[in-house]
Amino acid sequence: MRSKQRRAGARWVGRATRSAQAAPSPVDAAAAARAMAIELVAGRGHYDRVIAAVLEAKVSVWIATANVKGMLIEDTRARPGRRRSRTARAAYASIVGRLDELAGQGVELRLLHADLPSRAFRAELAKHPRLVAGGIALRRCPRVHWKLVVVDGELLYLGSANWTGAGLGAKGSGRRNFELGVVTSDAVLLDQVQAMYDRVWTGGECKACKLRDECPGPLAELARP
């Protein structure tokens, strides 16, 4: 997360936050309109832009999603002892394996999710001891409905796509979801989103949460990474 958060222009909304009895929550905000550069991504564009950025991460990948499922991605890299051919058909591999490679390179991996990951995702994760031992940090909050990806604190995806093959364009035409989102490197928006993410990640919203009975484990009870 960037060392200095930029909050200029934010205004707080909602009856509860305007009440003198309740302090406003940083996750309840409506920022003033301003110009920024964004890229629209739709369908397969999620794969070409968002997944590609994740695979090239050098520092960190923060993901927030309601659903987490196993995802196969194209792997056109040359196999040991073989030369890569321009005409070679793409092989497919689980993205979990590529995340394991990123963890081995020292990339910080965070996955904040609402539902229990799919059986396929959990089975693939179990094949990678480095990830299981902490190479990727998974935290679950049933209130999370965000769909976002932050790469290296410099690229942000915000949109409708969950962390699934159908959502992020990994499936073929006619099998993937209709998804829309935007990608930006806007520093102010990056700071705002990362601050919100980190607040939920570290349990900053747990005390006032009304869904404690449905929670698998309050994030506030976890040690700060």
Question: pLDDT at position 59, please?
Answer: 98
Residue 1 scores a pLDDT above 60: no
Report, at the CATH architecture level, how domain 37-78+89-206+217-221 is classified: 2-Layer Sandwich (3.30)
- Domain extent listing, the chain: 37-78+89-206+217-221
Tens of pLDDT, residues 35-80: 999 999 999 999 999 999 999 999 999 999 999 999 999 987 655 5
Stated pTM of the model: 0.85
d(CA 72, CA 122): 14
Closest CA to 194 of 157, 140, 160: 157
The predicted-structure confidence for 78-136, as pLDDT tens digits, reads as follows 555 555 555 445 689 999 999 999 999 999 999 999 999 999 999 999 999 999 999 99
d(CA 114, CA 116): 7
